[in-house]
Structure 1
Amino acid sequence: MYYAIICEDVDNSLPLRQQARPAHIERLQQLKAEGRLLVAGPHPAVDTSDPGSAGFTGSLIVAEFDSLTAAQTWADSDPYMDAGVYQKVSVKPFKVVLP
């Protein structure tokens, strides 16, 4: 089943993100290689795809896991968690309807 991992950043998270980004992306690439990643990306802090120094306010990851517990465990192990980027992470079951 798919799960939505909805993450909210701490204020001024950009320097923390930049430091932990390679390890964060590596984990997402692994999900992609396993055919389990539906979509992943950050929420820009301003209305543009490249927010520059404004940074980001959070992230959304939708990926396939065996259970809610497995999805939560994966989310809890994210390098952005260890780096202090996220202040809140919610994991919810996700049903793909479209496209």
Structure 2
Amino acid sequence: MPKYVLIGAYCPDVLAKRAPYREAHLERLARLKAEGKVLTIGPTRDLTRVFGIYETDSETEARTLVEADPYWQHQIWTSYEIYEWIQAF
């Protein structure tokens, strides 16, 4: 199954703004990980970017998963790009 890399940006003042949505965000990601659709995801240390790897049937499905996330829906993630990734090893 293809893998897709997510690279996105966080809003300013992310720690305060994400608080109301954090639990729903993390629960959803745990469910997607259990389903094998998210391999890993997390912020950069400076909390300006998010990086993740999705394993889905298509880029469209990966984008749908990103856009259904509470962080996207509430503008905690302000932009993102998806790239199909070829895992060398």
Give the TM bin, normalised by the shorter chain.
0.7 to 0.9
The answer to whether 1:40 aligns with 2:41 is yes
Give 1:7 deviation, angstroms. 1.3
Structure of higher CA gyration radius: 1
The answer to whether 1:15 aligns with 2:16 is yes
Give 1:74 deviation, angstroms. 0.9
Deviations 1:54-89 (A, max 9, x none): xx1121110201100111111111100122111111
Deviations 1:2-39 (A, max 9, x none): 11111101211111222211111112111211133321
Q: Normalising by structure 1, what TM-score? A: 0.79
What are structure 1's unaligned runs of at least 5 residues? Answer: 46-55
The question of whether the paired residues in 2 share the 8 Å contact of 1:16 and 1:84 is answered with: no
Counterpart for residue 80 of structure 2? 89
Give 1:95 deviation, angstroms. 1.5
Aligned Cα RMSD in Å? Answer: 1.3
Q: Normalising by structure 2, what TM-score? A: 0.87
Q: How many residues align?
A: 88
The question of whether the paired residues in 2 share the 8 Å contact of 1:31 and 1:63 is answered with: no
- Distance, in Å, in 1 between the alignment partners of 2:59 and 2:16 is 30
Point out 4+ residue stretches in structure 1 off by more than 6 angstroms: none
Share of identical aligned residues, percent? 32
Counterpart for residue 49 of structure 2? 58
